[in-house]
Amino acid sequence: AQSVTQLDSHVSVSEGTPVLLRCNYSSSYSPSLFWYVQHPNKGLQLLLKYTSAATLVKGINGFEAEFKKSETSFHLTKPSAHMSDAAEYFCVVSPLVGYTGKLIFGQGTTLQVKP
Amino acid sequence: ETGVTQTPRHLVMGMTNKKSLKCEQHLGHNAMYWYKQSAKKPLELMFVYNFKEQTENNSVPSRFSPECPNSSHLFLHLHTLQPEDSALYLCASSQNRGGSSGGGELFFGEGSRLTVL
């Protein structure tokens, strides 16, 4: 069975400081892992994905995430936060084998960026 | 034009009304999905269609009735809803390759905000 836990429901940073959004997963298979972002009144947009290639994955808008199998983690980072990064972030896991779209979404982390 | 378009963006309905949500994808994908997003809860998968065939019904009440006439269009017909059905309904599409080559990502529309009075 697969599950995903986002360790912080709310993260607040100052503009220009690093961002760390934490995600732990559980999967019986070699998983695919995703980070999505949702800005207010918008749909979800894919930030980046891991599908068993390089463990350090680079995404859009300067975000990256590192897959650590030993820690079952897939934390999202950005060196310097921008005001436009304020949004809801979702960590998502899916089984790589027999994928049928049954993604498991985390509860979400709200990122607040202070000027 | 975005890849996945949902209409209407906002809908207010009474419990005895009948309404429909529409989704259209312009990405040539073979799978479409309905998700429900309620406050303080994770996204809930409702229905999955692969090549127009429903392959997943996640124990959704019968007052929600999906329809997928072709691979590009998806509807969610609503009738006799309850106030707790108020939520953001998100449509998504993907290109599923199945088997051992999975890992396809979802492309979401902007959602239909439903309020049931």
Q: Does A98 touch chain B (CB under 8 A)?
A: yes
Q: Does A28 touch chain B (CB under 8 A)?
A: no
Q: Does B65 touch chain A (CB under 8 A)?
A: no
Residue A99 pLDDT exceeds 70: no
pLDDT at B100: 38
Q: What is the pLDDT of residues A51-61, one digit of tens each?
A: 877 889 999 99
Q: Pick from B116, B106, B117: which is nearest to B43 by CA?
A: B106
Instruction: Find all residues with CB under 8 Å of A83, minimum gap 6, and list them.
Output: A15, A113, A115
Query: For each of chain B's 117 residues, which pLDDT tens digit applies?
Result: 569 999 999 999 988 889 999 999 999 998 899 999 998 788 899 998 988 888 778 889 999 999 999 989 999 999 999 999 999 999 999 887 654 334 468 899 999 999 999
The 8-class DSSP code of residue A86 comes to -
- Structure-block tokens of residue A64: 């990256």
Q: What is the pLDDT of residues A7-57, one digit of tens each?
A: 999 999 999 999 999 999 988 777 888 999 999 888 899 999 888 778 899
Closest Cβ–Cβ partner in B43, B48, B92 for A100: B48
DSSP string, A17-77: S-EEE-EEEE-SS-EEEEEEEE-TTS-EEEEEEESSS-SEEE-GGG-EEEEEGGGTEEEEE
CB contact under 8 A, B103 and A51: yes
Q: Which whole-number Å values give the CA distances from B54 to A58, B71, B85, in the listed order?
A: 34, 11, 22
Q: Is A47 left (phi over 0), alpha (psi -120 to 50) or beta?
A: alpha
Q: Pick from B37, B34, B41: which is nearest to B58 by CA?
A: B34
Residue A98 pLDDT exceeds 50: no
Residue A97 pLDDT exceeds 70: no
B107 CB neighbours in chain A (<8 A) are: 46
CB pairs < 8 Å spanning A and B: 77
Cross-strand pairs, B76: B21, B66
